[in-house]
Structure 1
Amino acid sequence: MVLSIPHLATAAPSSPKPAVPSLEQQAMTLYQAAEYNRVLELLQQLPPGQQPGLEVLRYSLLSHLKLGKPEEAWKLYTKLVANNRPDEPALLREIARSFIVTRVRDTQEHIRIAAYTALAEMGESDTLPILEDGLLDSSALVRARAAEAIGRAGLAGRSSALKRALRDEAPGVRIAAINALSDAKVSGIADQLTEIARVDEGPESIFAFAGLYKLGRTDVLTDISNAVTLPDPEVRMAALGMLGRLRRPASLSILSQAVYDPHPAVRAFAAGALGEFGSTDGIAPLTHALSDENPRVRSVAASSLGRLGDNETRSVVQPLLRDPDEHVRISAVEALLRLGDASAVLNAADLARHPDPSVRGGAAHALAAATTPNALAVLESLLRDQQPLPRLMAARALGKLQQKSLVSPLKAGLQDSDPAVRIASAGSLIRVLSPKGKQGSAR
C-alpha cells in the first residue's frame, strides 16, 4: 500500500472537456456574424417538442427581419410574448417597419403606393435612401408619393434626387417635388420655378408661383390670385387650393366668392380652401355651400366647417345627417365629431353597416375625428370587415387616434389577408407606439 502511493501521486490528471456553447450563445454569435440563415437553422434543428429559449426566439426573429421576412418574424413575436408576457414596443415597431419597407418594390402598383403612403406618414430621416429609390419607380403615382414623403420627413434639403424630380416627365411628380422643396425653402430652385411658371399654362404654373412665394417672392401672390378667373377650371382649382394654404388675409374674399363658381369642382375646391384657410370668417360662404346642388360641394363644405372648430356651426351641419347622399352624411358625421358632438358616433355606426363598402370605409375615415370608446368599438369592427377597403380605412383611422390601447387591434391587422391592410396597420402601429417618430431601434 505504501509503495502504491507514489504511483497514484504521479498519475497524469484527466483534462476537462471543452464547454459546448449553449443554443442561445450560438444564436447570438451567428447573428452578430450576420449568419442569419444559420440562426434560423438552429431553430429548425430543435428536437420535436423542445421549446426554444426566449433569446433563441429573439435572434431568430431579428434574423427574419434582416432577411426581409416580416410575416415570419411576426409568427415568432407571438411566441415571444406568449403566456401574458408584455409587448416589447421597440421590437414590435421594427416588425411593423419591415412590413412597410419590404413592400416598396412589390409588383403591384397599389401595394407600392400603400407602402410609400405609410412611409410619408412615418416621416423618419433614416428612410431617405428608400424614398429616393421610389423617385425611380415606373409608376408616376409612386414617384409622386415618394416625393411627398421626402418633404414630410424633413429631408428635402438633403435630397439631390428630389431636385432632379423637378424635371420628371409626369406633372404630378414635378408638383410634388415643387411643394416639398419650396416648403423646405431649399435654395437654388428659384430659376427652375420661374421657368415653369413662365412656360407652363396649366396647374403646374400655380404651384411654381406658390413655391416662389414661399421662397420670398411676395409679388407672385397677384399671379396666383388672378388665376382664379382664368377659363381652365383646373387652373382655378389649383389657385384656390394654394390661396387656402398660403392663408394671406387678402385672399379670403377671393375664396368666399369662388363658392359661386359655375363649375362644381371649382366650388368644391373653394370650400376646401376655406377650411384650409382656417378663419371663422369663412363660415358664411361655407354655410351657403351646404345647400349646393352638387353633393361633392356639400360634402367638402361640411368637412371644412368641422375643421374651423366653431361649435356654433353644429346646427347648420346637423341637417346634413339626413342628406340623400351617403358621402355627404359621412362628412357631416366627421364635422360634428370635430365640433365635439359625440352623438354623431351613432350615425357613423349606422353608416358602418351600409351595404356599400366605400360608405363603410368613409365611416371609418370619419371616426378618426372621434375620441369616445364607442367610436373605437366601431372602428375595431370595421377592421374585421369582409371587404378590404373598410379594413384599410379603419387601420389608417386607428393610427390617427394614437392611443396605446389600440396596439392589440392593430397587431391583429398585421395578420390581415390583404397586404395593403397589413401595411396600413403597420404604419398606424408605428404611430401608436411612437407618436413623435422617436423610438429606439431593436436592432
Structure 2
Amino acid sequence: MVNAAAAGHPHRARRSALTVALCCAVMTGLLLQLAAPSETSAATSATSAQDKDLPALFKAGDYPAIVQRFQALPKDATPSKEMLRLAFHSLVKLGRGEEALPLYPRLKTEGQPDDLTLLSPLALSLVTSRVRDQKEHVRIAAYTVLAELGLPETGPLLEDGLLNSSVLVRARAAEAIGRAGLAAKSGALKRAINDEAPSVRIAAMNALGDARIMEMKPRLIEIGRTEEGPEAIFAYAALFKMGQTDMLIDITNAATLPDAEVRMAAIGVLGRLKRPASLAVLSQAVYDPNPSVRAFAAGALGEFGSPGGVAPLTHALGDEMAMVRGVAAGSLGRLGLKENRPLLQALTKDPSLQVRASAAESLLRLGDSSVLLMAADLARNPDPSIRGSAAQALSATSDKEALSVLQALLQDQQPLPRLMAAKALGKLSGPVIPILLKGLQDSDEAVRITAAGSLLQQTARAARPTRRP
C-alpha cells in the first residue's frame, strides 16, 4: 500500500512502489543465500568433516594417508588450518621437505614473526632428504651441513654416511658423529679408524680422541708405531687427549721432520691443542721454506689464540705468497686484538683481492665497519671466487649494509657466490630468515642445502634462552 500523500501524487506513488519492490528483491536474495550454502561453503564443510580423524592418523604415524587425503582435495576446496598443518608435518616426516615448503606461507600468520616450530623441522628435512642423492657433490653438501650442526637426532644417517662411496662424505660423517656426541656409542666410527681412505681414518681418530674413547688406545698406539705419515701425528694427538701427555714431545718433534705433509699435520695439531710450550714452534714455522707449511703455521697461530702470535703473524703478512698473507690476515682477526687494525688496514691495498677480502673479514670482526664499502666493491667483482670471498668476509658483521650485499649475492648468476652468501647468512643476527627462505628455492641443490643449514643455525640461535646480566 501507499500512503495518502503518495496517493495525491502519481509520480511519488510509482517511486514508492518501485522502492518496495527493490527492497523485497534484495531481501529475497539474501534469504536464498542463507537458505542454500554456496559450493565453496559446502566444500569447506566437507573438508572440515574429513579433518576429524587426521590427528589420530598422525599420531599413528600414517603420514602417507594424511598426504594422500590432502592432495585429493578439489582445487576449489579450502583446507582447514589443521589439515594444512598435519599435511605439512607429514611431508616433513616423510622426507619430502620440498613439497612441504609451499605450505609454510599458508600456515604462517600474516604480520607475525616466522614460526620457528615449523621452520626448524622443515630445514632439517631439506638437508637429510639429500644424504642419498645420486650426485656426490649434493651428498657432500648435506653431510657438511650435518657436520657443522652436530645434531644427535641425525645419528642413524651419520652412521649410514660412513658406508658411503664418497671419501668426503665418510669423512664428514665421522666428524659429525664426533660433534653430535655420539662417538662412544658408534660402532661404525670405531671401525672407520681402519677405513681405506686416510682422510676418513684421521677424521675418526679426531672424533674418538675428543671423546676419549679409551678402548681405542691400543689401536691408536699401533697406528703411531707403524705409520710414518700424517696419520701417526693424529694418533699421537688422540692419545694425548686420552691422557698420554708424553705424546706432545712426538708431535713437537714431527713439526721439523723432512716430510712437508707431516710438518703441516704436526703444526695443525699443535695449534688446536693450545699448549703454551708450542707457541715457539708455531712461531718458527712461519719461516718454513714450504709455502703450504707457512700457511698452516699462520692458521695454527690464529687457532692457538695467543697475543704472542702477533709478531710471527706480522712477519707472515709480508710473505711473498698471497695464500700465506691471506691466512695470516684471517688469524690476526681471530686474535681479537684491536691494536692489530693498522696492520690489517694496510692489507686492504694488497695486490691480491683474496688477501683484501681476508683483511676486510678480520677488520669487520674487530668492529671496523670502514671496510664495508670495499667489501661491497669486491662483491661486484667479475670473478665469482672473489664475490664468494666477499660473502665470507661479510659474515663477520651484522651491519644492515652487509645484509643488503649478501641478499644481492644470494641472487648472483653463479652458484659459488650464492652458496657463500647462504652460508654467511647463518652467522648473522637480524632479519635474515625471510632471505634464507628465498634461498631454499634456489635452482642449485647445494645452495638450497646450505640455506637450510643456515636456517637451522638461525632457528637454534633464536630458541636459545637469552642470558640476563
How many equivalent pairs are there? 420
Question: What is the Cα deviation at residue 436 of structure 1?
Answer: 8.2
Matches within 5 A, 1:15-34: 22-34=49-61
Query: What residue is the counterpart of 1:421 in the other structure?
Result: 447
Give the residue type in structure 2 aligned to 1:431. Q
Query: What residue is the counterpart of 2:267 in the other structure?
Result: 240
Query: What residue is the counterpart of 1:431 in the other structure?
Result: 457
Matches within 5 A, 1:164-313: 164-313=191-340
Query: What residue is the counterpart of 2:435 in the other structure?
Result: 409
C-alpha separation in 1, matches of 2:300 and 2:408? 33
Query: What residue is the counterpart of 1:342 in the other structure?
Result: 369
| Secondary structure in structure 1 of the residue aligned to 2:215 | coil
String of CA shifts for 1:11-35, please: whole Å, max 9, x gaps: xxxxxxxx98712214334333433
Q: Say which one has the larger Rg.
A: 2
| Secondary structure in structure 1 of the residue aligned to 2:319 | coil
> Given the alignment, which residue of 143, 163, 183 partners 2:190?
163
Contact 2:143 2:169 in 1 (8 A): yes
Question: What is the Cα deviation at residue 229 of structure 1?
Answer: 1.4
C-alpha separation in 2, matches of 1:86 and 1:282? 44
Give the residue type in structure 2 aligned to 1:261. D
Matches within 5 A, 1:32-111: 32-81=59-108, 83-84=110-111, 86-111=113-138
> Given the alignment, which residue of 392, 407, 418 partners 1:380?
407
| Secondary structure in structure 2 of the residue aligned to 1:434 | helix
Contact 2:64 2:90 in 1 (8 A): yes
Query: What residue is the counterpart of 1:12 in the other structure?
Result: none
Cα distance, 1:47–1:251 mapped onto 2, change above 3 Å: closer
Contact 2:398 2:430 in 1 (8 A): no
C-alpha separation in 2, matches of 1:252 and 1:341? 28
Tell me: higher relative CO, structure 1 or 2? Use CA pairs within 8 A at least 6 residues apart.
1
Question: What is the Cα deviation at residue 263 of structure 1?
Answer: 0.5
Identity, % of aligned pairs? 59
- 1:357 matches 2:397: no
Contact 1:274 1:304 in 2 (8 A): yes
C-alpha separation in 1, matches of 2:73 and 2:194? 56
The CA RMSD measured in Å over matched residues stands at: 1.8
Contact 1:27 1:42 in 2 (8 A): no
Contact 1:431 1:437 in 2 (8 A): no
C-alpha separation in 1, matches of 2:62 and 2:277? 64
Contact 2:209 2:239 in 1 (8 A): yes
String of CA shifts for 1:148-191, please: whole Å, max 9, x gaps: 01111121112111111111110000000000110111111111
String of CA shifts for 1:4-61, please: whole Å, max 9, x gaps: xxxxxxxxxxxxxxx9871221433433343333323332333332211111111111
Give the residue type in structure 2 aligned to 1:45. A
Contact 1:123 1:437 in 2 (8 A): no
Question: What is the Cα deviation at residue 104 of structure 1?
Answer: 0.5
| Secondary structure in structure 1 of the residue aligned to 2:265 | helix
Query: What residue is the counterpart of 1:329 in the other structure?
Result: 356
Cα distance, 1:199–1:421 mapped onto 2, change above 3 Å: same
Contact 2:233 2:265 in 1 (8 A): yes
Matches within 5 A, 1:133-144: 133-144=160-171
- 1:367 matches 2:408: no
String of CA shifts for 1:206-243, please: whole Å, max 9, x gaps: 11111111111111111111111111101001111111
Relative to structure 2, which stretch is displaced further, 277-286 or 85-94? 85-94
C-alpha separation in 2, matches of 1:45 and 1:190? 58
Task: Report the TM-score when normalising by structure 1.
Answer: 0.91
C-alpha separation in 2, matches of 1:48 and 1:56? 15
Instruction: Structure 2: give runs of 5+ residues left out of the alignment.
Output: 1-44
Matches within 5 A, 1:113-152: 113-152=140-179
C-alpha separation in 2, matches of 1:134 and 1:273? 29
Contact 2:436 2:454 in 1 (8 A): yes
Question: What is the Cα deviation at residue 290 of structure 1?
Answer: 0.4
Question: What is the Cα deviation at residue 129 of structure 1?
Answer: 0.8
Task: Report the TM-score when normalising by structure 2.
Answer: 0.86
